[in-house]
Chains A and B, each alone.
Chain A
């Protein structure tokens, strides 16, 4: 058996693949954060709560309305995205242009309210979302057993990530978006409805979080705290990648998943810390992040 640093190659391959799966979640979530920060300059601390809401919307939809997994994958982000737009219209708009801190505190407060209410309503143990029939089972890859669902997570997450990147970087709508970030006044003068663009962007970012939530529902316990645990890591990913960089968020998300996966093999105790260590190093060397532009 081939050994790499004392660890069998097969084990290493398995862990790398798992790292890629976790990286897909990081990529999806940090992408949403990056888009929101890019256009709104809002540090969206409610992102974890919105991820949790996505999972809960799928869970409640299945149990009370009979909405199946595939429909939930579409409907849940739509619903939570609309909720996000309402938040932008009703609350975030009022503090646009103020210091970053206001947006951070507002969204953090919202997250606490939402998570607290869900604890009150559903308890902390949460519930279990059944695995969709079509994605049960798995493949034996020789070096590991890969559950079909995990393979699907990678495919779905990457598809959505690159579709988003393409939309923003390569289409007309995307060019409006990027221009709106640079100079909203001028865009307004050209007759582009910038406020609407802002609302849609926030809604889309939130929908991405909800989409990740639905993806996560069958593999993790659906609990009110599921987002809060993940959010801090995702913020670290965004900081490493560079705030506001779309491709940076995707690539960093996947890379951090891989690094975390390797840490779990070589020194599991540090698995929760390794990303923050990297964050510190990146901030020391490149304060704007690996893919960020110097301000």
Chain B
């Protein structure tokens, strides 16, 4: 009898000990959700390739952190905020997902990140552009990893201004993202002594840009800035080249241009275009090796968004390993404490507003003669130090930033 009682309490005690140790990792699994545009306009810059980048990060950990399995969920947000928010809610409520990554269209991310905040989980945003995510919409529950509208407008517009482009005409996609881009561009141009002579807002999406290009051409501005993205940018650039915009001495500045856009348009159309990027595959041995590995699985070179997903996930899993916990606040604090050092960023750091600050790169699209291969598209012009690239904390409206 004694024996039975003793062994029973021993079993009870040991299971209790085990339970407390495991309480650090909820459900004894690390659960990650990947939410992205898998089929629409932004598929090629994020989409299935981003999921593959996420899997690469998980495989580098052997699929487990200290024996706890890493489980992945993924879904297509269809670029619809309601779909994205509902998916994330389901993941958090029913599947107990610890972290959500991918997160592409700004409108979807604004909705989904609110749900993540309510659920007390963590979001690592790699795809979205809106800089408001770490400004008026900042939260302790998300980190903006790869780039934002502020950094792109700042990097590209500054470079073009220094190069002598003083008067600007802006071609804006008529929705939230385009408007905030237009504001960011105007700010930079005016701060540097340039002027904005006009702007035209085109419906999103549009297929024919000849009319807007003609208006921009007629304005006589030095620079035509494209505050649009994806297919709209591609069609604007093609039309501009057809109407001889660059031959007549005007130049184009693409604000949100991804590697896949340049690849799709070809160098004939895009050569000489200046743009800002958060990462490029052909920077050093490390980036080339990772891009090579990615290309073997996906078939194309990765964009900065793909690299960002890998980097953010790796940094997250490292923090989980170091703290032995998947509790949001614990992991978030550990991530902020450790500098980000991988193939994506050197000495990157996470600020209190949730911005991951790292170097950005000003690049110029190569001419067909300079390019040595299908994906040899950018020539490095300048490294923009992280402190210079992103919105200074002094200008921040984020509630998490301590004001002195």
Contact = CB atoms under 8 A, between A and B. Distances in A.
A258 to B, nearest CB: 12
Contacts of A225: 41, 231
A225 B234 CA distance: 13
Given A128-B269, A150-B242, A264-B212, 12 more contacts: A18-B214, A124-B42, A125-B231, A125-B261, A145-B243, A145-B248, A221-B234, A229-B207, A268-B200, A270-B203, A271-B211, A272-B203
B242 A268 contact: no
B202 interface: yes
Given A125-B260, A125-B263, A150-B210, A221 B231 contact: yes
Contact of B205 (A123, A150, A229): A229
Interface string A160-204: 000000000000000000000000000000000000000000000
B206 A147 contact: no
Contacts of B234: 125-126, 221
A14 B214 contact: yes
Quick one: which of B174, B214, B239, B243 has the most chain A CB within 10 A? B214
B62 interface: no
B265 interface: yes
Contact of A221 (B42, B211, B264): B264
B268 A220 contact: no
B321 interface: no
A44 interface: no
A221 B206 contact: no
B174 A269 contact: yes
A108 B189 CA distance: 47
A221 B238 contact: yes
B373 interface: no
A265 interface: yes
B208 interface: yes
A3 B234 CA distance: 33
Interface string A138-151: 10000011010110
B129 to A, nearest CB: 17
B40 interface: yes
Contact of B239 (A11, A219, A229, A271): A219
Interface residues of A, number: 40
Given A221-B231, A221-B234, A15 B214 contact: yes
A226 interface: yes
B231 A219 contact: no
B44 interface: yes
A127 B231 CA distance: 11
Interface in A255-295: 261, 264-265, 268-273
Contacts of A219: 238-239, 242
A15 B210 CA distance: 9
A230 B264 CA distance: 20
A165 to B, nearest CB: 25
Interface of A: 11, 14-15, 18-19, 21-22, 116, 119, 123-128, 130-131, 138, 144-145, 147, 149-150, 219-221, 223, 225-226, 229-230, 261, 264-265, 268-273
B304 to A, nearest CB: 15
B43 interface: yes
B119 interface: no
A23 to B, nearest CB: 11
Contact of B43 (A124, A130, A271): A124
Given A125-B234, A138-B244, A147-B243, A265 B211 contact: yes
B264 A125 contact: yes
Interface in B15-44: 39-44
A6 B216 CA distance: 17
Nearest to B258: A125
B266 interface: yes
Shortest Cβ-Cβ A-B pairs, 9 listed: A125-B264, A272-B203, A264-B211, A125-B44, A128-B266, A123-B44, A124-B43, A221-B234, A125-B260
A125 B263 CA distance: 9
A130 B265 contact: no
B201 interface: yes
Interface string B129-142: 00000000000000
B265 A226 contact: no
A15 B215 CA distance: 9
A11 B220 CA distance: 13
Quick one: which of A14, A124, A226 has the most chain B CB within 10 A? A124
A271 B238 CA distance: 20
Contacts of A147: 242-244
A19 B210 CA distance: 9
Contacts of A261: 211
A144 B214 contact: yes
Contacts of B40: 124
Contacts of A123: 43-44, 260, 300
A230 B207 CA distance: 8
B264 A127 contact: yes
A147 B210 CA distance: 11
Contact of A272 (B206, B260, B266): B206
B249 interface: no
Contacts of B44: 123-125
Contacts of B206: 271-272
A220 B260 contact: no
9 contacts: A14-B218, A19-B211, A22-B210, A123-B44, A124-B43, A127-B266, A220-B235, A220-B238, A225-B41
